[in-house]
Amino acid sequence: MRTTISGGYLTEHGPNSLMLNDTRIAKLLEQIGLNNRIITADHSSAKRFIIKNGKPLAMPYSVKSAFFNKVLTLPTLLRVAREPFIRKHKELDNQSFADFIRHRLGKTILNYAAGPFVNGIYAGDPEKLHFKLAFPRMYEVARDKRSIILTAIKKPAANPNKLKKKSIISFQNGMQELPDAFERKLRAAGCQIHTQVSNSKLERDNEAWKYSYSQVGQTHQQDFDEVIITIPSYKLDTVQLPSHISLEHTKSIYHPPVSSLLLGYKRSDVKHPLNGFGILASLSEKTDILGALFTSTLFPVHNRAPKDHVAINVMLGGSRNPEIVQQSEEELIATAHREISKNLGISGEPVFHKLTNWKQAIPQVTLDHQQVLDELNQVEKDNPGLKFAGNYRGGISVGDCLINGINLAI
Ligand SMILES: Cc1cc2nc3c(=O)[nH]c(=O)nc-3n(C[C@H](O)[C@H](O)[C@H](O)COP(=O)(O)OP(=O)(O)OC[C@H]3O[C@@H](n4cnc5c(N)ncnc54)[C@H](O)[C@@H]3O)c2cc1C
């Protein structure tokens, strides 16, 4: 998470928002003193647009809005209505996300609803994502209930951790307030935080874990009972672990590259009202962007863009188009501007830009991901006191990472 503010624009270099739907996250935010820093997304954020036939069309966001919807037309809705009568696939446990959706809801839902949603979350390829492991809650419904649609419409089962009302949130000065607040809280509690360390090495000596590292040219060593490693899986090579620990599957998880580009425009140059969360590319129409978030609409009164200007965060790359991030900064700006101009009716040039290139953005929970989980479980079992956590295990959203962290700590 990193937020910068320049030229009147607030740029999120990583995540833009957090889904607040769990009492444990609400309590954690209160404990680290962020309660009065929370900002909630504008109500229009419920609306999402899909590019269909070259136009941004609103997805249905309620039962009422599903009627006469231009993305999901009558034949598609009739196909969805058949879902409760379709038998469970015998390969449910090993299916890709795309196979699951095609089987239960049909090709159009995959191309214009579920697939774009996966593109938006994972920057991933629905044909390669493991349904059960990448979408565990949906998998449980598919396994245990007759219909995923009827279950979604029905009143949800009582869950003590579920907040009555879920909301998309950020903080007044952006997402970086979250790690900053953790740092303040930990330091105030007397914890040591060391950054810019190198030569990290972990050894097992009798009952203790010996951790050594270099910082500003000096080597330090400390003993610990328990060690939790939370660095990204592609960075695990930067910590030297005891030679008997092999993490070959975990280290080789594919993280496609993503370019996150914030573009600023004069409000009067953008025809589209930007009255929603953003636009997502469909799977079946060629476009060079993954999607774009309307960040100044999401959090309208909170310094996301200067007065009479708008900010649009365009995402490019991902598993289905990784080569595009090879473009130079100028080319990426031109590509993003061309694509969103077509879709949002933009007449002027961008007046602001800020590019963040993620060479390895988001871990892909692919069809062989079970071997990653098995490997981690075995290493933890064989090495008491050593734990691994991060977005490659148990969910990639900020909310999932927080919940997994809470569960590990208590
Ligand atoms: C462009 C982008 C947009 C996203 N948007 C959203 C969104 O809007 N909402 C959402 O919920 N999720 C979003 N995500 C996903 C989400 O942000 C991540 O999955 C999540 O933040 C990952 O958390 P993490 O703690 O596993 O890893 P990280 O946040 O990457 O933290 C790992 C930490 O380890 C440190 N580190 C690395 N190597 C070492 C080392 N050798 N020694 C010590 N420390 C080290 C790093 O500096 C870093 O601080 C987005 C992701 C990307 C890339």
Residue range 206-238, pLDDT digits in tens: 889 999 999 998 999 999 999 999 999 999 999
Length of the chain: 410
Q: Furthest-apart CA pair in the chain: how many Å?
A: 69
**What's the gap in Å between 1 CA and the centre of ligand 1?**
6
Average pLDDT, the chain: 94
Q: What is the CA radius of gyration of the chain?
A: 22
Could you say which of 136, 153, 170 is where a domain stops? 153
- Specify whether the CB–CB gap between 199 and 214 falls below 8 A: yes
Provide the Cα torsion 289, 293, 295, 298; round to 10°. Answer: 170
Could you say which of 122, 153, 184 is where a domain stops? 153
Residue in 168, 241, 250, 396 to alter for ligand 1 test, most ligand atoms within 8 A of Cβ: 396
Could you say which of 108, 126, 153 is where a domain stops? 153
- For residues 28 and 133, membership in a common domain is answered with no
Q: How far is CA 317 from CA 6, 104, 269, 352, in A?
A: 25, 28, 26, 21
Q: How far is CA 403 from CA 79, 180, 272, 391, in A?
A: 36, 18, 37, 11
> Which residue numbers in the chain have pLDDT < 70?
63, 156
- For residues 185 and 325, membership in a common domain is answered with yes
Which pLDDT does position 374 carry in this prediction?
Answer: 98
- For residues 404 and 294, membership in a common domain is answered with yes
What is the domain extent for residue 66?
A: 59-153
- For residues 282 and 350, membership in a common domain is answered with yes
- For residues 234 and 266, membership in a common domain is answered with yes
**What's the gap in Å between 219 CA and the centre of ligand 1?**
27
Pairing of strands 208-215, 218-224: antiparallel
**What's the gap in Å between 361 CA and the centre of ligand 1?**
8
Task: Give, for 151, the enclosing helix (H) or strand (E).
Answer: helix 148-153
- For residues 45 and 108, membership in a common domain is answered with no
For residue 400, give the ligand 1 atom closest to its CA: 11
Q: How far is CA 345 from CA 23, 212, 341, in A?
A: 41, 56, 5
- For residues 218 and 91, membership in a common domain is answered with no
Which pLDDT does position 160 carry in this prediction?
Answer: 85
Which pLDDT does position 73 carry in this prediction?
Answer: 84
- For residues 13 and 139, membership in a common domain is answered with no
Residue in 2, 325, 362 to alter for ligand 1 test, most ligand atoms within 8 A of Cβ: 362
| Closest residue by CA, ligand 1 atom 39 | 231
Q: 163 Cβ partners below 8 Å, 6+ apart?
A: 20, 21, 22, 23, 26
Residue in 16, 231, 295 to alter for ligand 1 test, most ligand atoms within 8 A of Cβ: 231
Which pLDDT does position 303 carry in this prediction?
Answer: 84
Give the rounded percent of residues in the chain with a pLDDT score beyond 70: 99
Please give all residues whose beta carbon lies within 6 A of any atom in ligand 1, as ranges: 14-18, 197, 200, 230-232, 235, 238-239, 258, 260, 358, 361-362, 390-391, 396-399, 401
| Closest residue by CA, ligand 1 atom 31 | 231
- For residues 79 and 115, membership in a common domain is answered with yes
Pairing of strands 38-40, 48-52: unpaired
Which pLDDT does position 214 carry in this prediction?
Answer: 96
- For residues 133 and 166, membership in a common domain is answered with no
**What's the gap in Å between 353 CA and the centre of ligand 1?**
22
| Closest residue by CA, ligand 1 atom 35 | 231
How many domains would you assign to the chain? 2
Residue in 401, 402, 403, 408 to alter for ligand 1 test, most ligand atoms within 8 A of Cβ: 401
| Closest residue by CA, ligand 1 atom 15 | 397
The whole-angstrom separation of Cα 101 and Cα 84 is 13
**What's the gap in Å between 141 CA and the centre of ligand 1?**
29
For residue 106, what is the domain's CATH number? 1.10.3110.10
For residue 25, what is the domain's CATH number? 3.50.50.60
| Closest residue by CA, ligand 1 atom 2 | 14
For residue 328, the SS3 value is coil
- For residues 22 and 109, membership in a common domain is answered with no
- Give residue-wise pLDDT tens across range 267-302: 999 999 999 999 999 998 889 999 999 999 999 877
Which pLDDT does position 327 carry in this prediction?
Answer: 97
Of 13, 309, 43, 53, nearest to 174 by C-alpha is: 13
- For residues 248 and 356, membership in a common domain is answered with yes
